[in-house]
Structure 1
């Protein structure tokens, strides 16, 4: 399996990248980003790219890939809806169009989050925008899955880029064993998320919008 990852330097993306590098069935991983992951691995190739609205210059390099795991995102805190929409809607749609043009059968796994609203009725701006993005991706890509994790434990040694998330995960990390025991349907890890994406790509899943419980089930299936 040949995989492309967006957002591999983020808290979620680092775990997804790790899952791909560990997986025997993954032969090649192409990371698209503005900064380096700092990783070195025989499977890994990184491609620097600045304009996430236009992939014309590198689109030929997307040919022959089986899946894209789109983990790029940002917090809505302090952002206008217009700016948040560019990053959380326009960027992933531009990537999906370029990727599917180069690799028509490619699977597209998009990380949104618990609370995403596909109806457009939510009072929360981020939930509406991400819901709109999900709907557009599901219409555009025949093999697309939307991942809506709730609490995500990051890969050990990684840090979130947003200060609020740094504080949140500093509190959550030592509580993870307890949370997993008392609320297993709402807690996962970034590596499990990556395994679930691999399993969805490999075997296909009829449900195209996946909550944390679905993610953990797919991750367990991938490990068995």
Structure 2
């Protein structure tokens, strides 16, 4: 990408979105960041503009504010625990596709990076409900008229120290990271590596559209 990155990020009130926002603010290639949330993130920075928007299924009243951006990091997502397939499909597939369809119509030169998850099923079949839904979401995003679409599939993510949206249970399980990384590195990445890998594909092309844990670590090393 020859121009400065003008970036939209969703989901910055969650752990992954907050971490990606942190990495984006600190990247000199990023000129402007628009974050869209249902509630205030508490982040203030000269690069950052925030829109509070309650209904992600209808973006019509904020469309004018979404024009002129060349990258989107879509970090909005929920756990499937306790949800029916219909409910999970609505908040994962339907919501994501509506936002992406809107952005692709307004910004056809945009790169779209979607936070998916390790174990996602690209065949849209199999026993795992969430993996089927994520697989369909990835597949249909790839067909939209963006300049590029990348689906990131991290496993265990080691959070950035000092950020505020980290799940409480990480304080009890972070000790697993060095052992898991040594045994199965593809399943364990750092939040800094995920952010760096996303920044890299925003600036460069990459041969794979589905980016797993091993790719995240490899791409992040190029960004250093």
TM-score interval (norm. to shorter): over 0.9
The structure where helix makes up a greater share of residues is 1
CA contact (8 A) 2:71 2:202 kept: yes
Matching of residues 1-224 of structure 1 within 5 Å: 1-140=5-144, 141-157=146-162, 158-160=164-166, 166-167=168-169, 169-223=170-224
Query: How far apart are residue 142 of structure 1 and its match?
Result: 4.3
CA contact (8 A) 1:33 1:48 kept: yes
The root-mean-square deviation of aligned C-alpha atoms, in Å, is 1.4
Q: Distance in 1 between matches of 2:45 and 2:14?
A: 18
Q: Distance in 2 between matches of 1:186 and 1:154?
A: 14
Query: How far apart are residue 173 of structure 1 and its match?
Result: 1.5
Secondary structure in structure 2 of the residue aligned to 1:27? strand
TM-score by length of 2: 0.93
After superposing on structure 2, the runs of 4+ consecutive aligned residues of structure 1 that deviate more than 3 Å are 157-161
Deviations along 1:165-185, one digit per CA (max 9) or x if unpaired, are x42x23332332333333322
Q: Distance in 2 between matches of 1:95 and 1:138?
A: 14
Deviations along 1:19-60, one digit per CA (max 9) or x if unpaired, are 100101001110001111111111111101111111111111
Deviations along 1:130-181, one digit per CA (max 9) or x if unpaired, are 00000000111341000000111122233446xxxx42x2333233233333
CA contact (8 A) 1:69 1:110 kept: yes
Q: Distance in 2 between matches of 1:66 and 1:142?
A: 9
CA contact (8 A) 1:14 1:190 kept: no
Structure 1 unmatched ranges of 5 or more: none
- For these two proteins, the number of residue pairs brought into alignment is 218
Query: How far apart are residue 75 of structure 1 and its match?
Result: 0.5
TM-score by length of 1: 0.93
Q: Distance in 2 between matches of 1:38 and 1:174?
A: 29
